[in-house]
Amino acid sequence: MKISVCIKQVPDTESKIKLKADASGIDTTGIKWVMNPYDEYAVEEAVKSRETGKATSVTVFSVGPKARVVESLRTALAMGVDEAVVIDANDDLDSNMTAKALAAAIRADGEFGLVFTGKLAIDDNLASVSQMLAENLAIPHATVISKLEQGDSLIAEREVEGGTKEIIQLTRPALVAANKGLNMPRYPSLPGIMKAKKKVIKELTLESLGVTVADQRTKHSNFQLPPDKPPVRMIDGDAATQSKTLATLLRQEAKVL
């Protein structure tokens, strides 16, 4: 069985985000880019599947500016992925077009038995590409997966609201969107990093995949940073006084009671 993994390159959470002067997006100057954290769980699960004999090979795919995105692809290669494919595109591609491009690339790569993704990307938090990708591939899917058993079929455990668990049985080929807790992603080893540097990353374009940017329906504009958080207010007095003051502030100033 061949496994495909889809990853995204996102700004590091410690990066200082600034907006462009025209508010059309973020200013990428000085930003450190990393593999989306949830995608690390997807890569790890795919590599583990191959190591335990449940898969024959693992190919990783990513959409974005190829000059930058290849860094995350090489990280995946250093973690143990066999092959990598970059789909060159601008940063403003929406979820629907991204899913179409990934689906076309996965199909062009040949038969597959399983697709892994992260449950969402931490830059936009849309959590929609996985489901759209499964729809474009016409395969079943399960998201927010924290446990997976691979046998004749896939048994996926996902978290739902209220702390309860949901068990889903899937037939292959299928898509699984990984959540934290599915595994512990490995650190790329030095030999793995050296090997990854020498591997050739296959390059594709949207045009070669039959994806037309003009068909994109979503346009983003007027980006705004979240408002600054108000300063912390310290409450003096004993426990009884503090409790009474806190209740008053929550009711009269914060208006949450």
Query: pLDDT, tens digit, for every residue of 93-121?
Result: 899 999 999 999 999 999 999 999 999 99
Side-chain-side CA neighbours of 246 within 13 Å: the count stands at 11
Asked whether residue 154 carries a pLDDT value surpassing 90, the answer given is yes
Region 60-67: what's the mean pLDDT? 95
- How many CB atoms are located within 10 Å of the residue 27 CB? 12
Task: Tell me the pTM.
Answer: 0.87
pLDDT value of position 194: 94
Asked if 95 contacts 132 with a C-beta cutoff of 8 angstroms, the reply is yes
Q: What angle do CA 115, 117, 123 make, to 5 degrees?
A: 160
Asked whether residue 33 carries a pLDDT value surpassing 90, the answer given is yes
pLDDT value of position 28: 86
Q: How far is CA 136 from the centre of its chain?
A: 18
Q: What angle do CA 36, 38, 39 make, to 5 degrees?
A: 65
Asked whether residue 256 carries a pLDDT value surpassing 90, the answer given is no
- How many CB atoms are located within 10 Å of the residue 104 CB? 19
Domains recognised in the chain with CATH numbers = 2-215 (3.40.50.620), 227-257 (no CATH)
- Amino acid identity, residue 58? V
pLDDT digits (tens, 9 = 90+) for 231-242: 888 899 999 999
Region 66-76: what's the mean pLDDT? 95
pLDDT value of position 149: 95
Specify the range with the lowest mean pLDDT, choosing from 23-37, 130-144, 174-188. 23-37
Phi-psi group of 18: left, alpha or beta (phi > 0 → left; psi -120 to 50 → alpha; rest → beta): beta
pLDDT value of position 218: 82
pLDDT digits (tens, 9 = 90+) for 190-245: 999 999 999 999 999 999 999 988 888 788 888 888 888 888 888 999 999 999 99
